[in-house]
Amino acid sequence: MRKILFISDHGDPLIPLGSKQAGGQNNYVKHLALQLDGLGYSVDIVTHWSSEQKPAVEQLGERSKVYRFAGGQKGFVDKRQMFTLLPRLYEEMTETLDISSYDVVHTHYWLSGVLAYNLQKEYSFYWCHTNHSLAIAKEQGTGFIESKRKHFEKLIMEQADVVIATTPNEKQQIEVFTKKKSAVSVVPVGVSPVYLTSPEEVDQFAFPYYFYAGRLETSKGIFDLLEGFRHMLKKYDVPDNVKLLIAGGCPESIDIKNYCPKSEPLKEAIKGMEDRVLFLGPKNEKQLKNLYGGALATIMPSHYESFGMVAAEAQACGCPVIATHVGGLKDVVKSGVTGLHIPKANVQKLSESMAYFLKSSPKLLKMRRDAKQYAMEEFNWSLISRKVKELYERKNAYISLP
């Protein structure tokens, strides 16, 4: 078994991360494909042609390739509009690629799952699915209801041969939602190998800071964080040089030269703290590694989260994490050991937890070491990709059953 097809329609693995609609899924697809490539597989990745600067086909690793299809609309398409592109994507994909040549089709997010659901009517293949985010979790966390998506997520998960849940919490949610009795396997997400190498001696910022990385969206808790930071400044004795650094967003939303946001709601949220809160714009892995490594704590204040890659990456860099007690973050951060859990959207608790990391202590140094140790053991792609390989290879056992 050597040929795998990944479908990741709104998650191009080779576009810069941190901006609109480009985050954890893109990163997961890239690193898992690279690892599988290293294990001898060839992985073809189908994605929507969201960046006009990118070529139609691009090499990834030694044997693998990214195939970009316009689906009738080249350039950025919001994932909420992407459903209507699926029939054209289906046509382009089946005209260009020989679907019957793949041993495994691994889909990412429900939109890609819809494509495989339809492909199954014409072709035979072993189907593996990763959700990356779940409509029911989003509904619980934000109140936002996506009925069509829920309908398809159920079909996809009941139809796929194997579903990867990235945390025990996600597995539990899937099992309640789908009544699927078997074939939901927990395989965590890894962090880029860059985060597992020894830190470089880079003294990037000569002041203490808290750190956030990710999409600048309400559901990621960015506004809770800004309010929590403001609360901490009011309530605690915080030295003048302590700052909050924020990575993510795109050049259209961030004035990167002046470290400030262009969007009105964010400008409003930092009023009076402009000298304390710095927006850095999107950062790459090497830059993030230094940023995580030097932070007092990384904050992940999400309203829902299947896994939470930023929390795993920060811990890999020896940085404790303050994370909301939601979804996969319940498993990814060990409260009191590698960081602290706080309730969702609780400004008071968030500011208290931030204040806890203000002064260095032997206890906090131990937390930093434990965070690193935990991440090295749990979020290592080279071990995780072997678990995925085992799931793919179950295909043979499955076929030989009487």
Ligand X SMILES: CC(=O)N[C@H]1[C@@H](OP(=O)(O)OP(=O)(O)OC[C@H]2O[C@@H](n3ccc(=O)[nH]c3=O)[C@H](O)[C@@H]2O)O[C@H](CO)[C@@H](O)[C@@H]1O
Ligand Y SMILES: O=P([O-])([O-])O[C@@H]1[C@@H](O)[C@H](O)[C@@H](O)[C@H](O)[C@@H]1O
Residue in the structure block whose two tokens are 């800071």:
209
The C-alpha atoms of residue 195 and residue 304 are separated, in whole angstroms, by: 24
Based on CB atoms, which residue is closest to ligand Y, 24 or 71?
A: 24
Based on CB atoms, which residue is closest to ligand X, 47 or 92?
A: 47
CB of 290 vs ligand X, minimal distance in Å = 13
- The alpha carbon of 121 is separated from its chain's Cα centroid by a whole number of angstroms, namely 31
Based on CB atoms, which residue is closest to ligand X, 293 or 328?
A: 328
CB of 132 vs ligand Y, minimal distance in Å = 4
Q: Which of 213, 278, 342, 391 binds ligand X (CB under 6 A)?
A: 213
Longest dimension (CA), the chain: 71
Q: Quick check: 293 binds ligand X (CB under 6 A)?
A: no
Angle, helices 86-96/109-119, rounded to nearest 10 degrees = 60
Which residues contact residue 321 at a Cβ distance below 8 angstroms, ignoring those fewer than 6 apart? 297, 298, 299, 300, 311, 314, 315, 333, 338, 339, 340, 371
Based on CB atoms, which residue is closest to ligand Y, 13 or 24?
A: 24
153 binds, among ligand X, ligand Y, none (CB under 5 to 8 A by kind): none
Based on CB atoms, which residue is closest to ligand Y, 307 or 357?
A: 307
Among 78, 83, 41, smallest CA distance to 62 is for 41
The SS3 call for residue 238 is: coil
Q: How many Cβ atoms sit within 10 Å of the Cβ of residue 333?
A: 28
CB of 11 vs ligand Y, minimal distance in Å = 6
17 binds, among ligand Y, ligand X, none (CB under 5 to 8 A by kind): ligand X
Pull the structure tokens for residue 158.
């009941």
CB of 214 vs ligand X, minimal distance in Å = 4
Based on CB atoms, which residue is closest to ligand Y, 109 or 127?
A: 109
CB of 349 vs ligand X, minimal distance in Å = 21
Residues 62-101 interacting with ligand X (rule: CB under 6 A): none
Contact residues for ligand Y, defined by CB under 6 A: 11, 21, 23-25, 109, 132-133, 138
| DSSP element (H, E) containing 165 | strand 162-165
CB of 17 vs ligand Y, minimal distance in Å = 9
Angle at 311 between CA 342 and CA 114, to 5 degrees: 105
Residues in touch with ligand X (CB under 6 A): 17-18, 23-25, 27-28, 132-133, 166, 189, 213-214, 247-248, 282-283, 288, 304-310, 313, 328
